[in-house]
Chains A and B, each alone.
Chain A
Amino acid sequence: MARTKIFVPRETAAISVGADDVAIAIARHAKATGNGIQLVRNGSWGATWLEPLVEVEVDGKRIAYGNVEAADISDLFASGLLEGGEHDKRLGPIDEIPYLISQDRWTFWRCGLVEPLSIDDFCAHQGFNALEQAFESGPDAVIDAVKESGLRGRGGAGFPAGIKWQTVADAPGEQKYVTVNADEGDSGTFSDRILMEGDPLGLIEGMLLAGFAVGASRGYVYLRSEYPLTRSIMTRAIELARETGWLGDDIQGSGFDFDVELHIGAGSYVCGEETAMLESLEGKAGIVRYKPPLPAIEGLFGKPTVVNNVVTIASVPNVINLGANRYASYGVNRSKGTLAFQLAGNIKRGGLVEKAFGVTVRELINDWGGGTASGRPVKAAQVGGPLGAYLTAEQLDTPLDYEAFTEIDAMIGHGGIVVFDDTANMAHQARFAMEFCAIESCGKCTPCRIGSTRGVEVIDRMIADENRNDNYDLLVELCNTMEGASLCAMGGMTPYPVRSVLKYFAEDFASAQGVDQ
């Protein structure tokens, strides 16, 4: 008789709330009770609020149990866990959970579903199909498909991926590179991590497609050091791909050579900026470069280089598999396709929601997120990480569309949404924006290096009510200087959250006095 399959995620968030202990308890209990089980460590579906989320396969259906603790296991077994039995923590079949089925899972569809470190499972779920198709249709067809799909960079800048790839393909030179930015430093974001932990081979396939399309033979993944589990999963995935002939020379007899190297960051936020990342990949301090030249022309080691975010690259296989037109049919205006939004901060049902562009922030926060964790009213939501504006409760109806966000002086960035309830003091958040910039500035340009420190001082004076109005004007001027004269987005966009606080939450400077920083 086949052993019952039980899935327990091996994913950072799930483990951070006890998934490893749950897995051990299940294995022990099964052994003690003489039940043969097959424990599968899958990735996360992204419904993080339900973690640890355990699934049991019964008659081909996967029955989910949410927020399982190690202490629940004997009780769950007694309730017939192996037959999908009733229990307070039983959620029903995984493919009927509203949070998940209401999404547009284009890029994250294998996350949770498959065993991340199994080539067989990957191939059984369309793995490498897109690459094989590309080998037949040729590199130009891949670039054309990416262009046609309207896919834009998911790291934050939103630059059309197909145009970038075309530029690299057209650039003269024998040696070209594909680099993947996995330095996911924005607070409120974890989609790169969920993808790499849940479908690492999907990222590798995307890199192979990029390399094949532009004529690169080497790829790099630049992964932040704060993700140790991701590192071990990616390391193993690269080894697996090499062992099975999906990385290396003459891949599957196609004549195409491509290999991937994993590089680890060292705690610098700015290394998420593409040129700083390239410097770090070259073994140097992560100090941003002047642009031009663009990395697509002179990138890593001065060679033409694709620099894309994890989610951008991982979106490509399905653009090939399912069709560029189909991808472009999702979304609104010039924001085509889907984005993996991430609900974080003070939110009841935090997690990853992959959805077509055009959904509003309010829909995400209320319909998926269920409102705040505290049950109090939403005061603000920061969209797009530490360089993104704080949206007011009224602005939450803004559709998630790159251009619509630009219109309200905000940005979508990497799709992180951090919710604050009405107990938050926004003057403190403005101060933090400047403080963070001061801590993380690479120091190359003056507006960012000095401006951020002066910004903290000015805000402190405003909070202390020293010439509050004059300092308000001074801060506005400082923001303008930083925005206009900084080399990269670090100094150039730190003013966004600060200005949004000045504009919409100015009264918080008065009430911030005396509160702990």
Chain B
Amino acid sequence: MTVQDYDKQVATEIIASVGSRPEMLVQILVAFIERFGWITEDAIRQLAAELNLSRAEVHGVVSYYHDFRTTPPGRHVIKVCQAESCQAMGSRELSAHAERSLGVKMHSHTEDITLEPVYCLGNCACSPAVMVDGKTYGRVNAKRFDELVSTIQEQG
């Protein structure tokens, strides 16, 4: 997971490369998340100015989409699928295991790992599924979950 301090100059370059037009707002925010990890108040201010939108309009879009987090994530992000196919294969138990073993609840984070629910990763023939730092893993049981966590912890 990339988390970099917000940089106005970099942001301007991203806006220019995606397209400095109001209809590109969602796509610019997607690019901001990839680059900075979260949407800062400065980003909202800058987008409003550069796209000629009100801050309220930008804020409305940011707050609508689940992906546009407005607080910094941990260095690593683990998403555990909560949707029906994974439920049928024990995702409720897996989520409970994840919360217990990491010592955090969904939507919160340890120093370096953010734990989040996700509603379908499209890996439903390999349920339950988990996404770690943007990579999807299938047939994840508690043991495999712990291995995935150890791997990212070793990476630091």
Residues of B within 8 A of A301 (CB): 23
The reply on B113 being an interface residue by CB < 8 A is no
- Name, among A49, A283, A517, the residue most crowded by chain B CB atoms within 10 Å (CB to CB): A283
Number of interface residues of B (CB under 8 A): 44
Instruction: Tell me, yes or no, whether A172 is within 8 Å of chain B by CB.
Output: no
Question: B65 — nearest CB in chain A belongs to which residue?
Answer: A266
The minimal Cβ–Cβ distance linking A414 to chain B, given in whole angstroms, is 11
Chain A residues with CB under 8 Å of B125's CB are 13, 48-49, 190, 342-344, 347, 350-352
Q: Does B131 contact A (CB under 8 A)?
A: yes
Contact A51 B126 (CB under 8 A): yes
Q: Which of A187, A282, A287 contacts B84 (CB 8 A)?
A: A187
B-chain residues with CB within 8 Å of residue A228 when the two chains form the complex: 134-135
Alpha-carbon separation in the docked complex, A27 to B80 (Å)? 32
Those of A372-427 within 8 Å (CB) of chain B: 373, 382, 386, 416, 418-421, 424
Q: Which residues of A contact B84 (CB under 8 A)?
A: 187-188, 345, 382, 386, 418, 429, 432
Residue from B29, B68, B92, B138 within 8 A of A17 (CB atoms): B138
Which of chain B's residues has its CB closest to A419's CB?
B88
Please determine whether A345 and B22 come into contact, CB atoms closer than 8 angstroms.
no
* Other-chain residue from A15, A186, A265, A440 in contact with B136 (beta carbon distance below 8 A): A15
Evaluate contact between A285 and B61: CB separation under 8 angstroms. Answer: yes
Please report which residues of chain B, range 1-48, place their CB below 8 angstroms from some CB of chain A when the two chains form the complex: 21-27, 29-30, 33
Q: Determine whether the beta carbon of A283 is less than 8 Å from that of B122.
A: no
Cα distance A105–B120 in the bound complex, in angstroms = 25
> Taking each of B26, B33, B87, B126, which has the highest tally of chain A beta carbons within 10 Å of its own beta carbon?
B26
Given A283-B22, A344-B127, A345-B127, do A185 and B120 touch, yes or no (CB 8 Å)?
yes
Identify which of A266, A351, A442 contacts B29 (C-beta below 8 A). Answer: A266
Other A-B pairs beyond A266-B68, A432-B87, 5, CB < 8 Å: A184-B122, A188-B124, A227-B122, A229-B136, A436-B119
Q: List 18 A-B contacts (CB under 8 A).
A: A13-B123, A15-B136, A16-B123, A16-B139, A51-B126, A187-B86, A190-B123, A226-B120, A228-B134, A266-B29, A281-B23, A345-B84, A345-B88, A346-B89, A416-B85, A418-B84, A424-B88, A436-B119
